[in-house]
């Protein structure tokens, strides 16, 4: 396997990104969007897992407009959480859509990346970005997975659910059974929209899970549900990207 840090050009500057891929051949591309705590080893390990399963995975640092803003989440306390929330609010859906254009251009220039459909995945706040990107790049995004995604259905004018009818990808959304960050109306609304527009999808709430259940280094880690989510994601990417 190869892995490296690269600078991906966007119309706003250079975005630090981590790339992991098998060392031979051309492989379907996957973009892994970071969550609020940002670009870090915890997510690089997930990118490595995608690579180990035969994908060309790009993990972008979407706080690049702020410079190098990296958090040691193992030392997270209330003060760090305040800074993380502030950093999160500097990134909008439109910025992520713009940045994804740069990522796709980068992918298309790489010898190890197979031309064609792209898969995307993300945790927590990246749920809204995964949905927005799938809607704005329907000709490229063939598979989209989001875990305990937030801000997918909001009252804001850029709420992703308002453009979900544009999605051509197959979508997998896994929410925690208990998640104080996802209001009760969100999941029924998403299911209704997907059904109305005939979007192939799987929207679930695995029993016994909470927000963040896929992260091994967190107390809410649910190993059985996490492995099931990985299996569903990899099966989705196999169907849609290969």
Q: What is the pLDDT of residues 91-144, one digit of tens each?
A: 999 999 999 999 999 999 999 999 999 999 999 877 899 999 999 999 999 999
**pTM to 2 decimals?**
0.95
Q: Domain boundaries in the chain?
A: 2-241
56, 111, 113, 116, 227 from 24: Cα distances, Å: 11, 10, 10, 18, 27
The mean pLDDT value for 161-189 works out to 96
55: helix, coil or strand?
coil
Half-sphere exposure of 230 (CA within 13 A, CB side): 17
Enumerate residues 6+ apart whose C-beta is below 8 A from 89: none
Residue 88 pLDDT > 80: yes
CATH classification code of 2-241: 3.40.50.1820
Q: What is the DSSP letter of 68?
A: S
Residue 218 pLDDT > 90: no
Please, what sign has the CA dihedral across residues 221, 93, 21, 3?
negative
Residue 217: the pLDDT is 85
- Res. 146 pLDDT band, cuts 50 70 90: very high
């Amino acid at each position: 396997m190869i892995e490296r840090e690269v600078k991906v050009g966007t119309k706003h500057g250079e975005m630090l990104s981590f790339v992991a891929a098998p060392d031979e051949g051309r492989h379907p591309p996957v973009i892994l969007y970071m969550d609020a705590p940002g670009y870090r080893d915890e997510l690089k390990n997930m990118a490595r897992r995608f690579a180990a399963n035969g994908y060309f995975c790009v993990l972008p640092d979407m706080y690049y407009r702020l410079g190098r803003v990296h958090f040691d989440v193992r030392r997270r306390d209330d003060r760090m959480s305040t800074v993380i929330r502030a950093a999160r609010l500097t990134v909008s859906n439109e910025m992520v859509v713009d940045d994804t254009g740069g990522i796709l251009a980068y992918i298309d220039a790489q010898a190890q990346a197979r031309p064609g459909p792209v898969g995307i995945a993300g945790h927590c706040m990246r749920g809204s970005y995964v949905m927005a990107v799938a809607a704005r790049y329907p000709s490229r995004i063939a598979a989209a997975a989001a875990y305990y995604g937030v801000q997918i259905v909001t009252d804001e004018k850029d709420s992703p659910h308002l453009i979900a009818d544009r999605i051509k990808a197959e979508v997998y959304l896994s929410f925690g059974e208990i998640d104080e960050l996802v209001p009760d109306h969100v999941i029924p609304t998403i299911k209704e929209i997907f059904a109305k527009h005939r979007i192939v999808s799987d929207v679930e709430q695995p029993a016994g899970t909470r927000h963040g259940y896929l992260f091994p280094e967190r107390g809410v880690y649910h190993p059985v549900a996490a492995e099931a989510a990985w299996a569903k994601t990899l099966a989705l990417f196999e169907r849609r990207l290969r």
